[in-house]
Chain A
Amino acid sequence: MDEVLLRSLTPSVLTVLVRRGADFAAAEDAVQDALVEAVRVWPADPPRDAKGWLIAVAWRKFLDATRADTARRRREDRLDEEPAPGPAPAVDDTLQLYFLCAHPSLTPSSAVALTLRAVGGLTTRQIARAYLVPEATMAQRISRAKRTVSGVGVSPALGAPPGRRLGEKPRARGRFDQPGDVATVLRVLYLVFNEGYSGDVDLAAEAIRLTRQLAAQVDHPEVAGLLALMLLHHARRAARTAPDGSLVPLAEQDRGRWDTESIAEGVEILQAALARDRLGEFQAQAAIAALHADAPTAEETDWVQIVEWYDELARLTDSPVVRLNRAVAVGEADGPRAGLAALAALDASLPRHTAVAAYLHERDGDLATAARLYAEAAQKAPNLAERDHLTRQAARLNARRCR
């Protein structure tokens, strides 16, 4: 059984349930139950219409749960008025679900968890393992996130879910249709992609899948830009780490191990997006990644163009991290002195500032300073691979100087 195919049906099945009037949180539980049932039943008895099967089973689970809940609360069984399960609508509108799961009222970690479950169809256990937290913690994070957004409503077009809980703050409905909210969805998907490769779920691949699904739903250059960026970075994945797990810097990577198919797809998507002439930060980042991917050797990298793209990116985001990366690019395009001059204008407390300084000083031939700064940067590194890489750089220079 194709688990990814099964999970790819999650958002549309959930959307159907919500459109039929099911409360989002209850519908999401019902869809999860249906997915579990599918994993159990399908290998022996595959359905002809997978989506129809899931909708029917999820709807039944929803009715069962709601009936049990209603009976428990000794309420009148109002479900007799619910519409009977019908055929799945031909038009898929899962976009609103992406918006809901990335709603600004959620913290980033909640939005990520909810997106992976409600849109990605992953189980709570899989998400918990991917983020290295106990399953109970992740379950709470997800149910809180569902409570937070359940008062929000998916969109006016999908019909408002039943009443809010007492004490819950009223929230504006219908804001999901504003185009600006695509940015919040993209930030969540970017977070998922950037999480790395821990756990048995490949979060980077999952982020690409979800972004691809989103790109099929919405015609937006930045969605395309993010998809291109992910594909271009993912293409280098095999070359980024040595067999012992240590980091291989871009300049030293075996470019023969880059995934050319993924690069070609990323470049094509990016070019189509750029042609729309609505530049955004993900397109600009993807352009930089594409220029790296395009160079047959590190020496042939078009650093002048990369600096120009960093200028664009700095205009778009005004991010100090971007200016730090720009300093590296300037160091390559115009020489290490120019890079150091660009670096001098930046706040020294920026993450990786010391690492960049070390690199530029080494290129400038000041090995003693470079070695000292590499060691200092290692102390401040935010992750193990980077710390070890920087420590090795310091050790390499110190060994050379002692000879």
Chain B
Amino acid sequence: MAKYLLLKHYRGAPAAVNDVPMDRWTPEEISAHVQYMNDFAARLEKTGEFVDGQALAPEGSWVRYDGEGRPPVTDGPFAETKDLIAGWMIIDVDSHERAVELAGELSAAPGAGGKPIHEWLELRPFLTASPTITECTFH
């Protein structure tokens, strides 16, 4: 009944326990990792908790409005950007505890040596629609 975003970072997250870059894994380890992620999503679909999952390219650009009649300004990518998002999964679960449990499972995806990466995932609750019965001063 509550949606959460699981954010996976290219960088910006605290270091994982099994912190070996993916290009140093064996091809089999990469396949095992991808399989784990697919299985995880498929399992969430079956439990009726899956909403969305997407991966992002690491390279992006910055864009901003530059005044009436002018094209938007683009800039970047900035190599120094500290926080770089790799992708996300959106889940719809009954409790925060369940969201934490699932994030923990996703973080256990195998990496180098077939061992769990223990990577840090960012868990962010969605702001919801306003409930019909709000208490206090918001009735």
Bitwise, B119-139 to A at CB < 8 A (1) or not (0) is 000000101111111111111
A264 contacts B by Cβ under 8 Å: no
A134 to B53: give the CA distance in the assembly, Å. 12
Partner of A138, one of B3, B48, B125, B132: B48
B46 contacts A by Cβ under 8 Å: yes
Contact A249 B139 (CB under 8 A): yes
A138 to B128: give the CA distance in the assembly, Å. 18
* 19 residue pairs bridging A and B, Cβ less than 8 Å apart: A110-B48, A112-B1, A133-B51, A137-B92, A138-B48, A140-B46, A141-B47, A144-B46, A191-B1, A195-B131, A196-B130, A250-B137, A250-B139, A251-B137, A324-B135, A355-B137, A383-B131, A385-B129, A387-B127
B40 contacts A by Cβ under 8 Å: no
- A interface list, Cβ under 8 A from B: 107-110, 112-113, 131-134, 136-142, 144, 191, 193-198, 204, 229, 233-234, 236-237, 240, 247, 249-251, 292, 321, 324-325, 328, 352, 355-356, 359, 381-387, 389
Chain B: interface residue count, which band?
Answer: 20 to 34
In the complex, the chain B residue whose C-beta lies closest to that of A203 is B132
Partner of A137, one of B51, B125, B129, B135: B51
- B interface list, Cβ under 8 A from A: 1, 3, 45-52, 92-94, 125, 127-139
Contact B136 A137 (CB under 8 A): no
Q: Which 6 A-B pairs have the closest CB atoms?
A: A141-B48, A250-B139, A385-B130, A196-B129, A140-B48, A194-B131
Partner of B136, one of A109, A110, A292, A352: A352
Residues of B within 8 A of A382 (CB): 125, 127-128
Contact A383 B128 (CB under 8 A): yes
Q: Given A196-B129, A383-B128, verify A131-B139 contact (CB < 8 Å).
A: no
Residues of B within 8 A of A292 (CB): 139
In the complex, the chain A residue whose C-beta lies closest to that of B50 is A137
Residues of A within 8 A of B136 (CB): 324-325, 328, 352, 355-356, 359
Other contacts beyond A107-B94, A133-B92, A352-B136: 13, CB < 8 A: A108-B94, A132-B92, A140-B48, A144-B47, A193-B132, A198-B129, A249-B138, A321-B135, A355-B136, A355-B137, A359-B137, A381-B127, A386-B134
